[in-house]
Amino acid sequence: MAKVRKAVIPAAGMGTRFLPATKAIAKELLPIVNKPSIQLIVEEAAASGIEEVIVITGRGKTEIVDHFDAHPQLEETLRRAGKEALLREVVRPSQMVKMATVRQQRPLGLGHAILCARHLIGNEPFAVFLPDDLVDAQKPCARQLIDVYEATGRSVVALMNVPREETSAYGIAAGAVDVRDPRLVNISAMVEKPAVVDAPSTQAIVGRYVLDPCVFDYLSRTNPGRGDEIQLTDALAAMIVERGLYGYLFEGNRFDAGDVTGYLLANLNWARRTPRIWAAIEQYVAAHAGGVPR
Ligand code: UTP
């Protein structure tokens, strides 16, 4: 089975849920504690064995590329000042993976954004990371999916169970659990943001995929759908019928960093790793518990 070495990070969306913060700043650069959120994504990719990342960018997103580039002047300043720990943090993003970017000229949808990477992916399986979805897991979420792909040769999407009343906010998968693994779901259909009463399950699709390169053929035949955009979900729905698709109920906690509340919760989650910061937060919460700020 071909190894999964490449990944696509579609980051050309406009981030309307985070306005006005995202008027002039790419939402992927908003920090989780002291790292841009997209760095957590690239760290997950590298820890999953990904060697090459293709970021799909659009207008106003060029600074994402700067973050993953070397900065000789800053590095020299830190070196001269003997700030070795900071120097390592500044250098690290440029050394994690090989990175390329493709500009999506018009925001024609997630499916179209992925199609823009076709010439750089070629005929290899690849992972897709939606940068809004941050997953804190012992074994990286993408690695969990890659293991499924490399064992079965079938494309796979990440799934998580959500409360039934929240199903209308997600793409929901219908399917039967595989006899070999209770986390593996043989997907028979996907419904985008169903009314709660129509949701075929409570298994929501999360922004990690490992896809066979045949998905490009399905994407190139997909007409614009909801919102007049080329939807990845529509291409996958066609693929289910002819090639099959697995879902994998991954282990880990997912945060929607594209939403203000999810973003703040992600910050709290990652802040717990720095005792000094976490102690200050605990102190603040204890002093204000139950109180509404004036
Ligand atoms: P969303 O539909 O969540 O859009 O895109 P968005 O602009 O990121 O965020 P909101 O909802 O307006 O706040 C899902 C993913 O697909 C990418 C986005 O960058 C995001 O990672 N995308 C979407 C593109 O790269 N190009 C597109 O044309 C559309």
Q: SS3 of 49, please? A: coil
- CA triple 14-144-244, angle to 5 deg: 80
| CA 283 to ligand 1 center in whole angstroms | 36
The whole-chain average pLDDT of the chain stands at 94
| pLDDT band, residue 212 (cuts 50/70/90) | very high
Region for 270 from its dihedrals, namely left if φ exceeds 0, alpha if ψ lies in -120 to 50, beta otherwise: alpha
pTM: 0.95
pLDDT digits (tens, 9 = 90+) for 95-126: 999 999 999 999 999 999 999 999 999 999 99
Query: What are the structure tokens assigned to 254, written together?
Result: 């997912």
Per-residue pLDDT for 229 more than 90? no
Which residue in the block uniquely carries the two structure tokens 């709660």? 196
CA of 109, closest atom in ligand 1: 28
Which H or E element spans position 172? strand 171-178
Q: SS3 of 63, please? A: helix
Which H or E element spans position 175? strand 171-178
Structural domain spans, the chain: 6-283
Q: What residue ranges line ligand 1, CB within 6 angstroms?
A: 10-18, 56, 104, 107-110, 112-113, 130-132, 258
Cα–Cα dist 196/25, whole Å: 35
Nearest C-alpha neighbor of 52 from the set 98, 115, 3, 121: 98
Cα–Cα dist 201/279, whole Å: 40
Beta-carbon contacts of residue 24 (< 8 Å; ≥ 6 apart)? 60
pLDDT digits (tens, 9 = 90+) for 134-160: 999 999 999 999 999 999 999 999 999
| CA 139 to ligand 1 center in whole angstroms | 26
CA of 18, closest atom in ligand 1: 13
Beta-carbon contacts of residue 66 (< 8 Å; ≥ 6 apart)? none
Cα–Cα dist 214/211, whole Å: 8
| CA 113 to ligand 1 center in whole angstroms | 9
| pLDDT band, residue 217 (cuts 50/70/90) | very high
The CATH number of 6-283, from 1.10.540.10, 2.60.40.10, 3.90.1640.10, 3.90.550.10, is 3.90.550.10
